[in-house]
Amino acid sequence: MRDRENRLATRKRAKKSAPWGTPKKLTPLGYMVREVWRNRSRTFMSAAGIASLALLFILFSSMEQGLDDHFRGETEDVPTEESIELFKVKQVMDDWVYLISALCWTLMVLVIVNTATITVVERKFELASLRALGLSSVQVSFLVGSSMMLIVSFGIMAGIIASVVIIPLLDIANLSLLGGGLDLPLVYDPISIVNTLLLGLGAGALGLIPPLLMIIRSSPMEVLRDAG
């Protein structure tokens, strides 16, 4: 009896050692979140990279939308000098917007490939152990893939939130630098949020292919040996 009490007491003391206490269960999701948290500085850097690219993408969408709106309502017979300048900008934008979007997306894919590959290489020993313990390569890929998707979602969300705050501010500040002294109109198009989400999902899916192939191709045995 006393023994049991002692044990319980020690258990209570031991509780302090891990902030989350004794779990009710271990789920792949819980494990994944823990891993993301453990590598939080890298998670943060990758998410920040993805966020800035998302912000850039939304910014360009808004510029294009702003110019479109500006000229849709155009009724003046004699265009002002500013209108002519703006029209020039619009022509350039129309040519470049796709290229810039594509560039944003490519960079996003690269950030994801990079982060996921580092994760897989760095956790090689751990991932091989999981497979030696009987998890299938599909399950291990799920773990890595979903933790990457979590990071991508963080990034995209942060980018969207930042854009909601920053773009109206930029519009007020008249973006005079970018427009070469022109008052470049910015119109926040809600569709660009959806586009950004799709962009992130697509980039995530594509960027995960090489690292996940790495997992599937590797043999649990080879990797265990490496670490030994």
Partner 1 sequence: MPDRPFIETIDVVKTYKVGSSMVTALDHFSIGIEEGEMVAIMGPSGSGKTSLLNMIGGLDRPDSGAVRVKEVEINRLGEEQRARFRKNNIGFIFQFFNLIPSLTAIENVLVPVMFERETPVKRAGELLERVGLGDRFDHLPGMLSGGERQRVAIARALINDPMLILADEPTGNIDSETAREIVSLFRELNDEGKTLILATHDRIVAGRAKVMIKIRDGRMVRGKAHSRDGMRSLSPDKGGGVPE
Ligand X SMILES: Nc1ncnc2c1ncn2[C@@H]1O[C@H](COP(=O)(O)OP(=O)(O)OP(=O)(O)O)[C@@H](O)[C@H]1O
Q: Which does 15 bind (CB under 5 to 8 A by kind): ligand X, partner 1, none?
A: partner 1
Q: Which is nearer to ligand X, 98 or 125 (CB)?
A: 125
Q: Give the total of residues touching partner 1 (CB under 8 A).
A: 42
Q: Is 219 in the site for ligand X (CB under 6 A)?
A: no
Q: For residue 223, what are its two tokens?
A: 């990797």
Q: Do the Cβ atoms of 46 and 155 come closer than 8 Å?
A: yes
Element (H, E) at 202: helix 191-217
Residues between 127 and 166 that touch partner 1 (CB under 8 A): 129-139
Q: State the Cα–Cα distance between residues 216 and 211, nearest whole angstrom.
A: 9
Q: Is 15 in the site for partner 1 (CB under 8 A)?
A: yes
- Under DSSP, the state recorded for 134 is T
Q: Is 44 in the site for partner 1 (CB under 8 A)?
A: no
Q: Which residue among 1, 23, 99, 190 contacts partner 1 (CB under 8 A)?
A: 23
How many residues are given for the chain? 228
**Relative orientation angle of helices 81-122 and 137-172, to the nearest 10 degrees:** 150
Question: Taking phi first (over 0 means left), then psi (-120 to 50 degrees means alpha), and beta for anything else, what does residue 186 get?
Answer: beta
Interaction site with ligand X (CB under 6 A): 222, 225
Where on the chain is the footprint of partner 1 (CB under 8 A)? Answer: 7, 10-11, 13-15, 17-18, 20-28, 31, 34-35, 37-38, 125-126, 129-139, 219-221, 224-225, 227-228
